[in-house]
Amino acid sequence: MPSRFKLILAYDGGPFEGFQYQCGHRTVQGEIETALRSLGWRARHILSAARTDSGVHAVGQVVAFDLEWAHSTGELARALNAALPREIACREVEIVRPDFHPRFDAAGRRYRYRIYQAPGRDPLLDRFAWQVWPGLDLERVQRVSRSLVGEHDFRAFGSAPRCGGNTFRRVGRAEWETDDKQLSFWMEANAFLFRMVRMTVGSVVRLGQGRISEDEFLGLLREPEQGRGGPAAPARGLCLMGVDYLGAARDHRAALRRDLGE
């Protein structure tokens, strides 16, 4: 009998056309499924926690699949890493309950967006961070970012997975950390709209450079209108850091489907 396996993956999203499988394009999901088929997996598609965009990275993506495997989870991790391209790595493997779903059982997701402040481009930073100049007023940026915490309609910062879907999300963390000339924006929420983090960062950078006022930024939450935020920050600065799960998965799954309008 097959078991359901949960994997935590890291990948450099630069060479891929996003996570989700697309016929004729190189995607993270496509590479994982190719590797699994070499180990005897015969299903059509794996399940995933997040569909990261083209160029977005991850150190905590979660996927699940059913597989008949007679060896240990450690041996499965080694076999997968031997079959995967160098841009993708399996970090952890565990057996989970048969109905585990990486997306609908998730209680929240954590993203980090990296910026470096410099007048010239740094090739060693540029693959995983966005060069911004002039630099940001960090005190102003931090103060306004805190206003994102709580439940809001984020339609100005992204779009729902389905046409007409719910655009309200609950944000538990939205703050900046500094390290020399680099800045990291951390955002945690129960779920995210498409491009929500990147649109938020784009708006905050405009604010931090004095191109919009604090009142204009807060107006994106008070009177949300599709597409008023942004423009979206480049994909290369964004990384999915982790996905959190609750024990009461079935009740949570039903509630999340209701919240997302699915």
Residue 150 belongs to domain with CATH number:
3.30.70.660
Average pLDDT over residues 119-146: 95
Q: Mean pLDDT across the chain, nearest whole number?
A: 92
Examine residue 256 and state whether it is found in any structural domain, yes or no: no
127 and 87 co-located in one domain: no
Q: Which of 53, 99, 137, 180 is catalytic?
A: 53
Whether 105 is catalytic is no
User: Is 70 exceeded by the pLDDT of residue 108?
Assistant: yes
Beta strand spans in the chain (E): 3-11, 47-48, 57-67, 88-96, 106-117, 130-132, 150-153, 168-179, 182-189, 238-245
Q: How far, in Å, CA of 109 to CA of 244, rounded?
A: 6
Find out whether the peptide bond into 134 is cis, omega within 30 degrees of 0.
yes
Domain boundary among 73, 96, 119: 96
The model's pTM is 0.91
175 and 50 co-located in one domain: no
User: Is 70 exceeded by the pLDDT of residue 256?
Assistant: no
In this predicted model, what pLDDT tens digit does every residue of 175-224 receive, in sequence order? 999 987 799 999 999 999 999 999 999 999 999 999 999 999 999 998 88
CB-CB contact of 50 with 19 (8 Å)? yes
pLDDT confidence tier of residue 248, bands split at 50, 70 and 90? very low
CA dihedral for 110, 244, 96, 91, sign (positive or negative): positive
Examine residue 16 and state whether it is found in any structural domain, yes or no: yes
Q: How far, in Å, CA of 244 to CA of 58, rounded?
A: 14
Examine residue 195 and state whether it is found in any structural domain, yes or no: yes
Three-state secondary-structure class, residue 239: strand
CB atoms under 10 Å from CB of 173, counted, come to 15
Q: Which domain holds residue 16?
A: 3-96
CB-CB contact of 18 with 27 (8 Å)? yes
Residue % of the chain over a pLDDT of 70: 94
7 and 66 co-located in one domain: yes
191 and 130 co-located in one domain: yes
Report pLDDT for 163.
79
Report pLDDT for 183.
97
Half-sphere exposure of 135 (CA within 13 A, CB side): 11
Report pLDDT for 261.
52
In this predicted model, what pLDDT tens digit does every residue of 16-74 receive, in sequence order? 999 999 988 999 999 999 999 999 999 989 999 999 999 999 999 999 999 999 999 99
